[in-house]
Amino acid sequence: MNHGKSPACCLKATEKRVDGAGTEKLLIFQQNHSGERKIEGIKRYAKELFTLEMISIDEPLPKILDSTEEYLPRDIRADLVVDFLKHPDLSHDLAVACSHRKIPVIASGKKLRVKGVLTPPT
Protein backbone atom coordinates (compact mmCIF):
# COMPACT_ATOMS: atom_id res chain seq x y z
CA MET A 1 0.00 0.00 0.00
CA ASN A 2 1.35 3.37 -0.92
CA HIS A 3 0.68 5.98 1.75
CA GLY A 4 1.92 8.83 -0.40
CA LYS A 5 5.03 9.09 1.75
CA SER A 6 8.72 8.86 1.15
CA PRO A 7 10.40 5.42 1.01
CA ALA A 8 11.71 6.05 4.55
CA CYS A 9 8.16 5.57 5.83
CA CYS A 10 8.04 2.09 4.41
CA LEU A 11 11.00 1.15 6.59
CA LYS A 12 9.16 2.25 9.72
CA ALA A 13 5.90 0.34 9.31
CA THR A 14 5.50 -3.02 7.66
CA GLU A 15 2.26 -4.18 6.14
CA LYS A 16 0.92 -7.64 5.57
CA ARG A 17 -2.32 -8.63 3.92
CA VAL A 18 -4.15 -11.91 4.54
CA ASP A 19 -7.07 -12.43 2.20
CA GLY A 20 -10.01 -14.33 3.57
CA ALA A 21 -13.29 -15.09 1.90
CA GLY A 22 -15.05 -12.23 3.69
CA THR A 23 -15.78 -8.88 2.21
CA GLU A 24 -15.22 -6.85 5.38
CA LYS A 25 -11.75 -5.34 5.64
CA LEU A 26 -10.21 -5.49 9.11
CA LEU A 27 -7.15 -3.26 9.46
CA ILE A 28 -4.99 -4.09 12.49
CA PHE A 29 -2.28 -1.81 13.85
CA GLN A 30 0.30 -3.28 16.20
CA GLN A 31 3.57 -2.21 17.73
CA ASN A 32 6.43 -4.59 18.51
CA HIS A 33 4.21 -7.66 17.92
CA SER A 34 1.73 -6.46 20.56
CA GLY A 35 -1.26 -8.04 18.82
CA GLU A 36 0.24 -11.27 17.49
CA ARG A 37 -1.71 -13.67 19.71
CA LYS A 38 -5.02 -11.97 18.99
CA ILE A 39 -4.24 -11.71 15.29
CA GLU A 40 -3.55 -15.44 15.21
CA GLY A 41 -6.92 -16.00 16.91
CA ILE A 42 -8.68 -13.90 14.28
CA LYS A 43 -6.92 -15.83 11.52
CA ARG A 44 -7.84 -19.13 13.13
CA TYR A 45 -11.47 -18.46 14.05
CA ALA A 46 -12.68 -15.66 11.77
CA LYS A 47 -10.50 -15.68 8.65
CA GLU A 48 -13.51 -16.45 6.47
CA LEU A 49 -15.29 -13.33 7.72
CA PHE A 50 -12.61 -10.74 6.99
CA THR A 51 -9.87 -9.65 4.70
CA LEU A 52 -7.08 -8.85 7.16
CA GLU A 53 -4.43 -6.22 6.74
CA MET A 54 -1.80 -5.61 9.40
CA ILE A 55 0.41 -2.58 9.87
CA SER A 56 3.30 -3.22 12.25
CA ILE A 57 5.50 -0.54 13.77
CA ASP A 58 8.49 -2.32 15.24
CA GLU A 59 11.09 0.33 15.91
CA PRO A 60 11.89 2.15 19.16
CA LEU A 61 9.97 5.41 19.45
CA PRO A 62 10.49 8.50 21.59
CA LYS A 63 8.12 9.05 24.52
CA ILE A 64 6.47 11.96 22.71
CA LEU A 65 5.80 12.05 18.98
CA ASP A 66 5.25 15.58 17.71
CA SER A 67 3.98 14.10 14.46
CA THR A 68 2.74 10.58 13.71
CA GLU A 69 2.56 11.13 9.95
CA GLU A 70 5.60 8.99 9.18
CA TYR A 71 4.14 6.02 11.08
CA LEU A 72 0.43 6.08 10.17
CA PRO A 73 -0.97 5.89 6.65
CA ARG A 74 -2.54 9.04 5.26
CA ASP A 75 -5.43 7.19 3.69
CA ILE A 76 -7.02 4.58 5.92
CA ARG A 77 -9.53 2.32 4.20
CA ALA A 78 -11.21 -0.34 6.27
CA ASP A 79 -14.55 -1.44 7.64
CA LEU A 80 -13.06 -1.78 11.13
CA VAL A 81 -9.71 -0.82 12.68
CA VAL A 82 -8.21 -2.65 15.64
CA ASP A 83 -5.57 -0.77 17.64
CA PHE A 84 -2.89 -2.82 19.42
CA LEU A 85 -0.46 0.11 19.40
CA LYS A 86 1.44 0.85 22.60
CA HIS A 87 2.36 4.49 21.96
CA PRO A 88 -0.43 6.84 23.12
CA ASP A 89 0.30 9.46 20.45
CA LEU A 90 -0.08 6.85 17.70
CA SER A 91 -3.32 5.52 19.20
CA HIS A 92 -4.80 8.98 19.59
CA ASP A 93 -3.96 10.13 16.07
CA LEU A 94 -5.17 6.83 14.61
CA ALA A 95 -8.49 7.23 16.45
CA VAL A 96 -8.93 10.80 15.23
CA ALA A 97 -8.11 9.85 11.63
CA CYS A 98 -10.60 6.97 11.73
CA SER A 99 -13.27 9.14 13.34
CA HIS A 100 -12.97 11.66 10.50
CA ARG A 101 -13.49 8.81 8.03
CA LYS A 102 -16.32 7.26 10.09
CA ILE A 103 -14.36 4.03 10.51
CA PRO A 104 -15.05 2.34 13.86
CA VAL A 105 -12.04 1.51 16.02
CA ILE A 106 -11.60 -1.05 18.77
CA ALA A 107 -8.83 -0.02 21.15
CA SER A 108 -9.13 -2.36 24.11
CA GLY A 109 -7.93 -1.06 27.46
CA LYS A 110 -7.22 2.48 26.23
CA LYS A 111 -8.67 5.72 27.53
CA LEU A 112 -9.34 7.40 24.21
CA ARG A 113 -12.25 9.82 24.10
CA VAL A 114 -12.85 9.98 20.37
CA LYS A 115 -16.21 9.46 18.68
CA GLY A 116 -16.45 6.00 17.08
CA VAL A 117 -13.78 4.40 19.24
CA LEU A 118 -14.73 1.48 21.49
CA THR A 119 -12.42 0.98 24.46
CA PRO A 120 -13.55 -2.17 26.26
CA PRO A 121 -11.60 -3.18 29.38
CA THR A 122 -8.94 -5.81 28.89
User: Is the pLDDT at 95 greater than 90, yes or no?
Assistant: yes
Phi-psi category of 110—alpha, beta or left, where left has phi over 0 and alpha has psi -120 to 50? beta
68: number of CA atoms within 13 Å, CB side? 18
Q: Break the chain into its structural domains and give their ranges.
A: 1-73, 95-122
Q: Where does the pLDDT of residue 8 fall: very low under 50, low under 70, confident under 90, or very high at 90 and above?
A: very low
Confidence (pTM): 0.78
Q: What are 14's strand-pairing partners? A: 56
Determine the pLDDT at residue 22: 63
**Between 49 and 10, residue with greater pLDDT:** 49
Any residues with CB less than 8 A from the CB of 45 and at least 6 apart, and which?
none
Q: Which of 8-12, 14-18, 80-84, 90-94 has the lowest mean pLDDT?
A: 8-12
Residue range 48-88, pLDDT digits in tens: 888 999 999 999 999 999 999 999 999 999 999 999 999 99
